[in-house]
Homo-oligomer: A and B are copies of this chain.
Amino acid sequence: MSIEVGILGYGNVGRGVEYAFGQNPDMHLAAVFTRRDPATVSVETAGVAVVSTEDIAAWTDKIDVLILCGGSATDLPKQTPQFTALFNTVDSFDTHANIPAHFAAVDAVARQAGKISVISCGWDPGMFSLARFYGDAVLPAGKSYTFWGKGISQGHSDAIRRIEGVLDARQYTVPVAEALAAVQRGECPELTTAQKHERECFVVAKPGADLEKIRESIVTMPNYFADYHTTVHFITEEELLRDHGEFPHGGAVIRSGVTGKDGEHRHTVEYKLTLDSNPEFTGSILLACARAAVRMQQEGQSGCRTLLDIPPVYLSARSREQLLKEFV
Binding site for B on A (CB under 8 A): 16, 19-20, 23-24, 44, 96, 99-100, 103, 120, 125, 127, 129-130, 132-134, 136-141, 186, 246, 259-261, 265-277, 280-281, 283-285, 288, 306-313, 315-318, 321, 323-325, 327-328
Contact = CB atoms under 8 A, between A and B. Distances in A.
A139 B328 CA distance: 17
A259 B12 CA distance: 13
A271 to B, nearest CB: 5
A186 B120 CA distance: 27
B273 A267 contact: yes
Nearest to A275: B267
Copies of this chain, how many?
2
A308 B323 contact: yes
Given A138-B127, A272-B269, A99 B328 contact: yes
7 nearest A-B pairs in the assembled complex, by CB-CB distance? A265-B276, A259-B280, A265-B277, A23-B140, A268-B274, A137-B315, A270-B272
A306 B260 CA distance: 25
A139 B260 CA distance: 36
A136 B318 contact: yes
A300 to B, nearest CB: 14
A141 B270 CA distance: 23
A309 B312 contact: yes
B138 A281 contact: yes
Given A130-B312, A308-B312, 12 more contacts: A24-B140, A100-B321, A125-B328, A133-B312, A133-B323, A133-B327, A138-B285, A139-B281, A265-B277, A308-B313, A309-B313, A310-B311
